[in-house]
Structure 1
Amino acid sequence: MNNYTVLISGLFALTGALVGQAYNNFLTNKRERKKYEKEIYQELFSPILLDIIAFYDIKTNWRRGHDIRDHVKEDDLVLHIKEKISSNIKYANSPIISAYHDLKRFDYYEDFTGFIQEQKWLKLCLTLLDETYKFVKKEKLLHENQLVLINNYRIKYFIWYLLIEHIGDQDQATEIISAFWCISPETFTESFYEHLLVRFEHVKREYFATVFESELKHLVIDGCEGLFQEMVERIENNISGSTVISDTDS
C-alpha cells in the first residue's frame, strides 16, 4: 500500500511540475509575443502612420496656399514612407509586401497611363492603414480615439483610390477629393468602411457617380449641398469624357 502511495504522490508531483513548466513556458511565450508585436508597431507602423495622414492632409488641402507651410513637400513624406517599409520589410505581412512591390516596379516600369503609379501609391497607403488598424485593434496598442482616426483616413484614402480608378486622372481625382471636407466623418465607423468596400466592389464606371452620391449625400455638412453636387457632377463629367486603361493593359 505504501508503494502505491509513493507512486501516486510521485505522479502528482511530476504532473504538477510538468503543468507548472508548461504554464511558465506559456507566460514566457506570451511575453515574447507581446514584445515582438510591440516591436512591429514601433518599427513599421508607428513611424509611417502620421506620415500617411499628413500626406492626405497636405495633398488634398482645400486651402493649401493658406494652411500649409511653404517648405512642406509631400514627396518627402512619400520617400520617408518607402524607406521605412524597405528597411523594415521583415515586419511586413503579405498584403503590405504585395502593395509595396506593385508600387516598387514603377522605379523601372514606365507608367504610360499617367495615373496608375499614383493609384498604386494610394493602394499602398490604404493597405498600410488597413493593416495598422487590424493590428493595433487586435493587440490593443492604441486608444479608441486613435483607432477612430485611422478608420477615418481609411475611408478617405479608399474614396480617393476609387476616384483615380474610375476617372483615370490623378489631378482631377485629387481636386475632387480636396472637397471631401464637406462630408461629415461622424458616421465613419468600421462597419461603414466595410459597407463601402462591399458597395463599391463591382460598381461599373458609368454608375460610380450615382453610387458615390447615394452613399455620401446624407453625410454632407449643412450648407455644403451645392459643393457636394459639384463633386458629383465633376465625377460624371470626367468619367464620360475619359477612357480608363487598366494597369494590366498599360
Structure 2
Amino acid sequence: MADWTTAITITGSFGAASTAQIISHILTNKREIKKYERDCLQNLYSPLVLKVVKYFSREADKIIFHEVMVNFDIDEVKIKKDYEEMSLEANSIFEEIIECVGKNLKYAHPSLIVEYEEAIYKEESKHLFGGFNYIPHTNDYSFEQRIKVCRELLLEFIRISEKLDALSDALRVKIQGSLFFTELYPLLERCGYKKLARHVVKYMGDIMIALTRKNNLLSEIVYIRKQLDIAEDTIKFEEVRADACQFLYELGDQICTLEVNSPEDWKDQLEKEDINRMIFNKFPGDLLKSGNN
C-alpha cells in the first residue's frame, strides 16, 4: 500500500511539475510575443503611420495643383517649379517609408514584406523607364503598388495597437481617411472606374469629413472589396459589382456636397465611365477576368 501511495505521490508530483512547466512555457511565449509586437510597433509601424498620412496628403496636393495648371492653362515658371517641388516631396516621403521598412524587415508582417519587395522592383523599373516624377492619374502601376504598401502598414499598425491597447481615438481618426483611400482606389479599379481612380486621391479631405459623418463607411468598403475578391463566376461578380457601384454613387452623394476643387462632379465621372464601358463592350465578366489576372 505504501508503494502505491509513493508511486501516486511521485506521479502526481511529476504531473504537477509538467503542468507548471507547460503553463510557464505558454506564459513565456505570450510574454515574448507581446514583447515582439511591442518592438514591431515601436520600431516599424508607429514611426510610419503618420508618414503614410502625410504621403497621401502630398499626393492630393500635387494632383489638385496639376489640375489647376491644366484647366487654367497656367504656364508661369514659378507655378511649374512649385509643382515639381510637390512631386519631389511626395516621392521623398515614400522613399523614407520604403527605407524604414527595409531596415526593419524583421519586424514586418509577411504580407508587408511581399508588397515591399514588389514596390522595390516597380520603383526600380520606373527609374529605368522614366524617373520618379510621375502623376497619379496617369496609368501608373507603381502608384498602385505604393498604395498596397501603405495599406499593409496601416492594417498591421491597427491590429497590433488594438491588441496592445495602444491606439488613441485621435490617431484612429487621423489614419482612417488614408486607410479608406487604400480600399477605395482598388475598388474603383476593379469596378472599371479607372479614370476616377487615377485622381481620387484629391478627395482625401472630403473623404475624411464623410467618414466622420457616417461611421460605417470603412467597414462597408472593406466588406464589398472582400466580396469582389472571392467572386468566382460572372453572375456572382455582377451581383457584388452592382452593390459596389451603388456604394460608390452613394459615396458621391456625400462627397459632392463637400468637394469644391474638382472641375468635374464625382457622379458625372462614374456615369461617363459606365457609358464608355457599354460602348466598348466592357461588361462585368471582362472585369472579373482582368481582376483574376
State the TM-score, normalizing by the size of structure 1.
0.73
Question: Residue 72 of structure 2 corresponds to which residue in structure 1?
Answer: none
Q: Which runs of 5+ in 2 are unaligned?
A: 66-81, 131-137, 230-236, 281-289
Q: Is the 8 A contact 1:60 1:174 kept in 2?
A: yes
Q: 1:89 to 1:9 in 2, by over 3 A?
A: same
CA distance in 2, matches of 1:213, 1:26: 47
1:79 aligns with 2:95: yes
Question: Residue 172 of structure 1 corresponds to which residue in structure 2?
Answer: 199
* Matched residue type, 1:134: R
* Matched residue type, 1:136: S
CA distance in 2, matches of 1:203, 1:88: 42
Please, which of 202, 212, 226 is the counterpart of residue 185 of structure 1? 212
1:131 aligns with 2:156: yes
User: What is the count of residue pairs matched by the alignment?
Assistant: 242
Question: Residue 5 of structure 1 corresponds to which residue in structure 2?
Answer: 5
Q: Which runs of 5+ in 1 are unaligned?
A: none
Question: Residue 94 of structure 1 corresponds to which residue in structure 2?
Answer: 110
Q: 1:80 to 1:239 in 2, by over 3 A?
A: farther
- Secondary structure at 1:142 match in 2: coil
Q: 1:192 to 1:144 in 2, by over 3 A?
A: farther
Pick which of 37-46 and 167-176 moved more.
167-176
* Matched residue type, 2:213: E
1:216 aligns with 2:245: no
Q: 1:216 to 1:20 in 2, by over 3 A?
A: same
Q: CA RMSD in A?
A: 4.2
Q: 1:22 to 1:175 in 2, by over 3 A?
A: closer
Counting only pairs closer than 5 Å after superposition, residues 53-72 of structure 1 correspond to structure 2 as 53-61=53-61
State the TM-score, normalizing by the size of structure 2.
0.64
CA distance in 2, matches of 1:176, 1:18: 60
CA distance in 2, matches of 1:225, 1:80: 30
* Matched residue type, 1:23: I
Shift of the alpha carbon at 1:12? Answer: 2.1
1:194 aligns with 2:229: no
Shift of the alpha carbon at 1:45? Answer: 1.0
Q: 1:28 to 1:179 in 2, by over 3 A?
A: closer
Shift of the alpha carbon at 1:58? Answer: 3.1
CA distance in 2, matches of 1:130, 1:203: 28
1:122 aligns with 2:147: yes
Greater share of helix: 2
Q: Is the 8 A contact 1:209 1:236 kept in 2?
A: no
Shift of the alpha carbon at 1:43? Answer: 1.6
Q: 1:225 to 1:199 in 2, by over 3 A?
A: farther
1:230 aligns with 2:230: no
